[in-house]
């Protein structure tokens, strides 16, 4: 599986970009509840409030409009709440500015920012992220399987479109998961958190010569929808806790997509279902 867009070449008229966690891989609950949340409690010494912090992490990162955001963005939102309601988080303001302004939200980028500033919150966030990676590496692959129906959908999509994994997660982690379950064979490129923001990745892929209505983003989070809309491409949602049903419906969506009939009312109905599922008001 290619990991550098410089090696990627447009081979088909259509392009489908697919998120990984919570979309293809059944990983959201196990990663957030067994890794992200507990590592936050450990790093900031919040054992006294453990259950409350874990529930807060779940609400922000799984059950709200911020589902699927980059780990450092999710951390920022939770730390703001902790700072207001539990303990003082030293150095928080500078960390929040980095999250808002950084072109790349990754361990490497954060390490570079910490080396320049010596900010204490950045250091703890970096240690937290590395601890998360170690924790996730210890989770058995059997606890992180693909959702039922994904391989059939990927095989079908690969017959008609170039396939790119587009994720805000760590590249090494995603590569391993797709290789273990032999799904990488259906893909052409992996663009992870190290590749930059999803919106920018989509725009860069469009430079390969795809028409915007020939590009679809498949995702489970509002950030996927926002990225698709910002890039002017189409969006197909995988509904949280209805993933199998979403993949069962994918062949119909693929047919509409390749016939040029996906935009308009068909897509609007999919987005409405998506927003209702996450209790997001359509503004």
How large a percentage of the chain has pLDDT more than 70? 99
pLDDT tens-digit readout, 182-202: 999 999 999 998 898 899 999
In this model, does residue 169 exceed pLDDT 50? Answer: yes
Tell me what the mean pLDDT of segment 227-249 comes to: 97
Distance between CA atoms of 243 and 25, rounded to whole angstroms?
A: 10
Residue 168 has pLDDT above 90, yes or no: no
pLDDT tens digit string along 114-131? 999 999 999 999 999 999
Q: How far apart are CA 89 and CA 62, in angstroms?
A: 23
The answer to whether residue 282 scores a pLDDT higher than 80 is: no
Task: Please report which helix (H) or strand (E) contains residue 215, including its range.
Answer: strand 215-219
Contact 205, 9 (CB under 8 A): no
Domain assignments of the chain as residue spans, ordered by start: 5-26+144-277, 28-137
Q: Which residues contact 231 (CB under 8 A, 6 or more apart)?
A: 199, 202, 203, 206, 212, 215, 217
Mean local confidence (pLDDT), 215-220: 97
- Residue 281 pLDDT more than 70? no
Give the C-alpha separation, 29 to 87, whole Å: 26
User: What's the rounded mean pLDDT across residues 166-173?
Assistant: 90
Superfamily of domain 5-26+144-277: HAD superfamily/HAD-like (3.40.50.1000)
What whole-number distance in Å separates Cα of residue 280 and Cα of residue 276? Answer: 6
Higher pLDDT, 78 or 70: 78
Q: Please say if the pLDDT value at position 283 is more than 70.
A: no
**Mean pLDDT, the chain, as a whole number?**
94
Q: Is 53 exposed, middle or buried (0-12, 13-18, 19+ CB in 10 A)?
A: buried
Mean pLDDT of 133-150: 91
- For position 162, what pLDDT does the model report? 98
The three-state secondary structure class of 50 is helix
Our separate counts of H helices and E strands in the chain read 13, 5
Residue 2 has pLDDT above 80, yes or no: yes
CB 193 within 8 A of CB 208: no
What pLDDT score was predicted for residue 279? Answer: 77
Could you please report the per-residue DSSP string of 163-200?
EEEE-SS-HHHHHHHHHHTT-GGG-SEEE-GGG--HHH
Task: List phi, psi (to 5°) of 67.
Answer: -55, 135
What token pair was written down for 101?
């302004």
pLDDT for 147: 96
State the average pLDDT over residues 248-272: 97
Q: Residue range 239-244: average pLDDT? A: 94
Q: What is the mean pLDDT of residues 226-246?
A: 96
Q: Count the helix, strand and coil residues of the chain and give each as a percent rounded to the nearest 5.
A: 60, 10, 30
Average pLDDT over every residue of 29-49: 96
């Amino acid at each position: 599986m290619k990991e550098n867009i410089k090696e990627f070449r447009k081979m088909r008229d259509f392009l489908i970009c697919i998120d990984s966690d919570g979309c293809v891989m059944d990983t959201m609950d196990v990663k957030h509840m067994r890794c992200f949340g507990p590592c936050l409690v450990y790093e900031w010494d919040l054992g006294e409030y453990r259950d409350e912090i874990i529930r807060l992490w779940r609400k922000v990162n799984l059950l709200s409009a911020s589902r699927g955001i980059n780990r450092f963005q999710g951390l920022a939102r939770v730390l703001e709440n902790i700072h207001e309601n539990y303990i003082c988080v030293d150095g928080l303001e500078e960390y929040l500015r980095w999250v808002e302004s950084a072109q790349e939200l990754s361990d490497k980028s954060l390490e570079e920012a910490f080396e320049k500033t010596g900010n204490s919150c950045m250091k703890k966030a970096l240690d937290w992220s590395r601890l998360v990676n170690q924790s996730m590496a210890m989770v058995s692959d059997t606890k992180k399987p693909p959702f039922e129906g994904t391989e059939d959908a990927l095989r079908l999509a690969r017959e008609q479109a170039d396939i790119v994994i587009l994720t805000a997660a760590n590249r090494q982690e995603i590569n391993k998961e797709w290789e273990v379950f032999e799904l990488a064979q259906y893909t052409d490129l992996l663009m992870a958190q190290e590749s930059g923001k999803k919106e920018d990745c989509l725009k860069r892929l469009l430079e390969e010569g795809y028409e915007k209505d020939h590009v679809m983003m498949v995702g489970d989070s509002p950030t996927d929808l926002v990225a698709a809309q910002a890039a002017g491409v189409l969006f197909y949602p995988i509904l949280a806790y209805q993933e199998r049903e979403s993949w069962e419906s994918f062949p119909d969506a693929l047919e509409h997509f390749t016939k040029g009939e996906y935009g308009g009312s068909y897509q609007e109905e999919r987005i409405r279902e998506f927003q209702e599922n996450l209790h997001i008001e359509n503004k």
